[in-house]
Chain A
Amino acid sequence: MQDLGIRVLFEGENGIRLLLGLLVTIKLSVITIIASCILGTIMGMLMTLRHPAVHFITRIYLEFIRIMPQLVLLFIAYFGLTRAAGINLSGFTAAVIVFILWGTAEMGDLVRSALISIPRNQYESGAALGFSKIQLYRFIILPQALRRLIPPAMNLATRMIMTTSLVVLIGVVEMLKVGQQIIEANRYTAPTAALWIYGAIFFLYFFSCWPLTLAANCLEKRWKE
């Protein structure tokens, strides 16, 4: 019976359709990760300002976004916004908005902690050595801050890729949905398809995220000193 199931993966265009589903996942991840990196950097810098209002607002934003399950945020954007503001968002757009908001919050916190982790005396000795503000950041602060930022930022990226799997629940046709369609279509000819299709999706996610995790670990180890 088992060989019947695995055949589905290679039959017709099933495999290609699954990979196209993966492409939707990757597209969503890449858009939101890039946007989150840019906006998160700005947010992280804002958070290091000692302005009470800015501090308060960013804190509330960060805490709320962090504490809510991403699926709830997706529901708010997809069902709530559509009704409250009368705009018709596609599932994909809603997902892009939510993942950028979430990614920005998480990335902002990473940038903030990387910036404040540089000891004060680094700034002061740079200034004492006659570095200009730009030189100070270019040669002293940024190289150190980036080393502390990049590994956790890469881990955040893998988390974002994994979390994009939730969009199937607000009706976006991505890998899981395509998988379901293939299983449904082959219900009678290949009853064990679910095992193979979901297994394949499991490993497709794994091989999308694992290299990033490995690279993050490797960089972290190398930059430890």
Chain B
Amino acid sequence: MHLDLLFIQKFAPMYAKAAVITVQLACTGIVMAILTGLLVSIVRYRKIPVLSQLFFAYVQLFRNTPLLVQLFFLYFGLPKLGIHISGPACAIAGLTLLGGSYMAEAFRAGLSSVSKSQIEAAEALGFSHMQIMRYVIVPQALAVSIPPLCANVIFLIKETSVFSVVALSDLVYVAKDLIGLYYKTDEALLLLVISYLIILLPVSLLASLLERRIRYAGFGNTGIV
């Protein structure tokens, strides 16, 4: 395999630009997904009528369908109803909807890991609603939620690789374009792999560091391990 270094040098900036787009969309989508997940999990935890059932349906629907199909529906299907959404907006909406359903499950696992008796005990001790949240539920729920949360963040960044179908010039789009134009398949794919490694390796390392710390926090508590 002979790699054309000049080619790599010439087109690396294109990948850098595409990587920036990918990261921007991923960050926006992930933040919105976390917010959506929080909202959904709190509504479900509080068992607010109607909304709770609605959100349950939403979580099931979007956890069990691929992002690619969701994007096709949003980008090509909805305009037929007169709802036109731009490519980037579609990408973020898709990532938010998909991610929200995954994040909601992560938060739900955390919330449901705190036993009722602890909350009752806190109430008996005269803790206010906010205090129970702040000192009893959140610290324990977070320890359970963070590992799946990290896994979801990595999953969502990987999912951004399908954004080229809504006409966004992301990393995959650039690679495919270069393969089609110059037949430099090896170089184009190598740059693609390296770009994703540069984006995902730090996130993955950070996630495992965080998880290790959390695991120490959980030691001695059989409910969490």
On whether the beta carbons of A213 and B172 are closer than 8 Å, the reply is no
Is A72 a contact of B161 with CB atoms below 8 Å?
A: yes
A162 within 8 A of B: yes
Interface 9-mer from B35-43, B57-65, B117-125: B57-65
A166 within 8 Å of B by Cβ? Answer: yes
Cα of A67 to Cα of B223 in the assembled complex, Å:
30
State whether the Cβ of A210 lies closer than 8 Å to any Cβ in chain B: yes
B6 at the interface (CB under 8 A from A): no
What 0/1 pattern do residues 188 to 200 of A give for CB contact below 8 A with B? 0001111111110
Cβ-closest chain A residue relative to B160: A69
User: Contact between B165 and A169 (Cβ–Cβ < 8 Å)?
Assistant: yes
Smallest CB gap from B192: residue in A: A72
A191 to B185, CA, bound (A): 38
Cβ-defined contact, B185 with A79, below 8 A = yes
Chain B residues with CB under 8 A of A206: 61, 64-65
A169 B162 Cβ-Cβ under 8 A: yes
Q: Report B-chain residues with C-beta under 8 Å of the C-beta of A176.
A: 68-69, 72
By the criterion CB–CB under 8 Å, are A213 and B60 in contact?
yes
Contact, CB under 8 Å: A198 / B72 = yes
B interface footprint on A177-192 (CB within 8 Å = 1, 0 otherwise)? 0010001000000011
Against A, the Cβ 8 Å flags (1 = close, 0 = not) of B140-181 are 000000000000001000111110010000001001100100
In the complex, chain B residues 28-77 whose Cβ is within 8 Å of any chain A Cβ: 60-61, 63-66, 68-70, 72-73, 76-77
Report how many A-B pairs have Cβ atoms within 8 Å: 111
Cα A202 to Cα B1 in complex, Å, equals 42
Report the bound CA distance from A163 to B192 in whole Å.
19
B interface footprint on A48-85 (CB within 8 Å = 1, 0 otherwise): 00000000000000010001111110011001101110
A188 to chain B, nearest CB (A): 14
Chain A 111-167 interface residues, beta-carbon cutoff 8 Å to B: 158, 162-163, 165-166
Is B196 a contact of A67 with CB atoms below 8 Å?
Answer: yes
Is B5 in contact with chain A by the CB < 8 A criterion?
A: no
Contact between A201 and B189, CB atoms less than 8 A apart = no
The CA of A158 and the CA of B62, in the complex, are separated in Å by: 12
Question: Are B193 and A72 closer than 8 Å at their CB atoms?
Answer: yes
User: Is B186's CB under 8 angstroms from A194's CB?
Assistant: no
**Quick one: which of A75, A83, A197, A205 contacts B65, CB cutoff 8 A?**
A205
Which residue of the partner chain B has the closest CB to A175? B69
Check A195/B77 contact, CB under 8 A, given A67-B201, A71-B172.
Answer: yes
Which of B66, B73, B192, B197 contacts A67 (CB under 8 A)? B197
Q: Cβ of B64 and Cβ of A194 under 8 Å apart?
A: no
5 contacts between A and B (CB under 8 A): A67-B158, A69-B161, A195-B81, A198-B76, A206-B61
- Other A-B contacts than A67-B197, A179-B72, 9 sampled, CB-CB below 8 A, are A75-B175, A158-B64, A162-B65, A162-B66, A165-B69, A169-B68, A196-B77, A199-B77, A201-B72
Give the 7 A-B residue pairs with the shortest CB-CB distance, closest first: A69-B161, A209-B64, A165-B66, A195-B80, A162-B66, A69-B158, A198-B77
